[in-house]
Structure 1
Amino acid sequence: MSADVISLKGLRVFGYHGVYETERSAGQEFLIDADLHVSTAKAAASDDVADTVHYGDLADRMVAVVAGEPVALIETLAERLAALCLEEAGVERAAVTVHKPDAPIRHQFSDVSVRIERSR
């Protein structure tokens, strides 16, 4: 497994996920982190974006998932995002965290998140 990691942190996306109807109708902001375990040696040698994960394109696809079809659980959302990351050429393992900072909790808190790791 590669020791190289490409990280995308704090991707902000407005989505309509949640268990409660108010979450699905009003929506809220989600923050996404992704760590992609992939060899960067070829890209470093060629200096060509075609030889690595184009994180701008990946971010676009991740935004489409989060802004798209609503799900009840952020666990489900994290699973979909990890599967998307593993579709990238050369990615051996993906760790995805979905943060839900405005979760409907009646107590003061700073964040709720789910982190999953998946591999090929």
Structure 2
Amino acid sequence: MGTIKLKNIRTYSYHGCLVEEGKIGSDYAINLEIKTDLRKSCLSDNLKDTVDYVLLNTIVVEEMDVRSHLLEHVGHRIITRIFKEIPSVSRIFLGVSKLNPPIGGDVEAVTIEMEEYRN
């Protein structure tokens, strides 16, 4: 087994329960870690034998473009889509952070973290 990590994917998205968040938007940072078998690609040096991190990034960015009220909801969509589109992924650890959240305090970020295993 092996791990592929995408660290600090940055998006400007429109998630949140407040009406203003859907209009104004906010900065987000997403961290994604997947487990997969890297033995074949270690020997073949061929992209078709591994998980393409360009595809992982594309999935994250596209799902972040779809408005959700809760970070948990968008996180679940990202995880579901990765499992659906990439059968070789066995585990996903995902963190979605809203930077400078509008919560009436000096808070750098609010983050949800989710971990799921393929059934």
Range class of TM-score, shorter chain: over 0.9
2:39 match? 41
What per-residue deviation string (whole Å, max 9, x for no partner) do you get for residues 61-107 of structure 1?
2111101x211000111111111222313100101100101211111
Root-mean-square deviation (Å): 1.0
Task: State the 1:21 CA deviation.
Answer: 0.4
2:87 match? 89
- The alignment-based identity, stated in percent, is 26
After TM superposition, which residue ranges in structure 1, 4 or more long, deviate above 6 angstroms?
Answer: none
What per-residue deviation string (whole Å, max 9, x for no partner) do you get for residues 6-34 of structure 1?
00010011111100000001111111111
TM-score by length of 1: 0.92
Secondary structure at 2:43's aligned position in 1? helix
Task: State the 1:40 CA deviation.
Answer: 0.6
Structure 1 unaligned blocks of 5 or more: none
2:10 match? 12
Q: How many residues align?
A: 117
Contact 2:101 2:107 in 1 (8 A): no
Contact 2:27 2:99 in 1 (8 A): yes
